[in-house]
Amino acid sequence: MATRGAAKPFCTRIERAAWVDRRLAELYPETPVPLDHKDAYTLLIAVLLSAQCTDKRVNLVTPALFKLADTPAAMARRTVAEIDAIVRPCGLAPRKAQAIRELSRLLIERHGGAVPASFAELEALPGVGHKTASVVMAQAFGVPAFPVDTHIHRLAQRWKLTNGKNVEQTEADLKKLFPRGHWNALHLRIIFYGREHCSAHGCDGTVCEICRTVVPDRKRAVVTKK
């Protein structure tokens, strides 16, 4: 694996970010969307379900859900109880079930049954926060966005790319550091790397290749700020 070897430590966030960007592109040249979906609507539902739930579990649940209903019109005709019975393994039910049914109804009422390609309109839907809207804008519509989940928030702190005060600050810092055209692929690459090499328990900021390379003189574990 390519490393920086004995070169002098990075002095700035910009230097660290540039190296991280290059290295992640080498490690993950392809960036498949982790959540199974067939269109913007099924992606929106899958991302909503992924809150406080693993992508793996969501992908186990959505086939049955989309067999029940895979369009806003069909989902709006289902009861919350029917939806809840399927999505319960994803947690936060029946709140997620209620949001899925209501946002489906609103897509018909306000948007002609289509998922809007607008941050403001997406975030106006039940159960859809900024992170969910960012994922949909990036992965369904190709609009540059930088969704920050727990993996990205943790790694950005470990790599000294942000002070980590909150996810909003982390998103703003990362958008300043990385080229806009890289955001959509890069946020997935960071997630892939975090799961594979720099997980919450598998690395403490001193173990994995990127941590050791961008902060080579670190001696103590990094305590992630929420």
pLDDT tens for 113-160 read 999 999 999 999 999 999 999 999 999 999 999 999 888 999 999 999
pLDDT for 222 equals: 87
Instruction: Work out the percent of the chain whose per-residue pLDDT is above 70.
Output: 96
pLDDT tens for 198-207 read 998 999 999 9
CATH of domain 40-141: 1.10.340.30
> Hey, what are 122's tokens?
């997406």
pLDDT tens for 42-94 read 999 999 999 989 999 999 999 999 999 999 999 999 999 999 999 999 999 89
Query: Is-above-0.95 flag for pTM?
Result: no
Q: Cα(26)–Cα(49) distance, rounded to whole angstroms?
A: 31
Q: How big is the CA angle at 16 (ends 15 and 18), to the nearest 5 degrees?
A: 65
Q: What is the pLDDT averaged over residues 96-110?
A: 98
Instruction: Work out the percent of the chain whose per-residue pLDDT is above 90.
Output: 85
- Annotation: CATH topology of 13-30+146-214: Endonuclease Iii, domain 2 (1.10.1670)
- The mean pLDDT value of the chain amounts to 93
Residue 167 parent element (H or E) = helix 167-177
Asked if pLDDT for residue 4 goes beyond 80, the answer is: no
pLDDT for 150 equals: 83
Furthest CA-CA distance within the chain: 63
- Of the candidates 3, 10, 21, 27, the one whose C-alpha atom is nearest the C-alpha of residue 174 is 21
Q: Cα(80)–Cα(98) distance, rounded to whole angstroms?
A: 6
Asked if pLDDT for residue 216 goes beyond 80, the answer is: yes
Choose, from 149, 175, 204, 225, the residue flagged as catalytic: 149
Q: Cα(167)–Cα(152) distance, rounded to whole angstroms?
A: 9
> Hey, what are 74's tokens?
């069909």
Q: Cα(70)–Cα(113) distance, rounded to whole angstroms?
A: 12
Choose, from 96, 131, 160, 173, the residue flagged as catalytic: 131
Write down the domain spans for the chain: 13-30+146-214, 40-141
The one-letter amino acid code at 33 reads V
Q: How big is the CA angle at 197 (ends 193 and 200), to the nearest 5 degrees?
A: 95
Asked if pLDDT for residue 8 goes beyond 90, the answer is: no
8 is an active site residue: no
How many H-runs (helices) and E-runs (strands) does the chain carry? 12, 0
Q: Cα(161)–Cα(17) distance, rounded to whole angstroms?
A: 7
108, 73 Cβ separation under 8 angstroms:
yes
Q: Residue 10: pLDDT band by 50, 70, 90 thresholds? A: confident
Q: Cα(65)–Cα(150) distance, rounded to whole angstroms?
A: 26
For residue 174, which phi and psi values (nearest 5 degrees)?
-65, -35
Q: Residue 9: pLDDT band by 50, 70, 90 thresholds? A: low
**Residue that wins the pLDDT comparison between 162 and 223:** 162
pLDDT for 135 equals: 97
Q: How big is the CA angle at 196 (ends 192 and 199), to the nearest 5 degrees?
A: 100
131 is an active site residue: yes
**Residue that wins the pLDDT comparison between 166 and 62:** 62
Q: Cα(169)–Cα(2) distance, rounded to whole angstroms?
A: 30
Least confident stretch, 31-35, 49-53, 98-102, 220-224: 220-224
- Any idea what DSSP says for residue 100? H
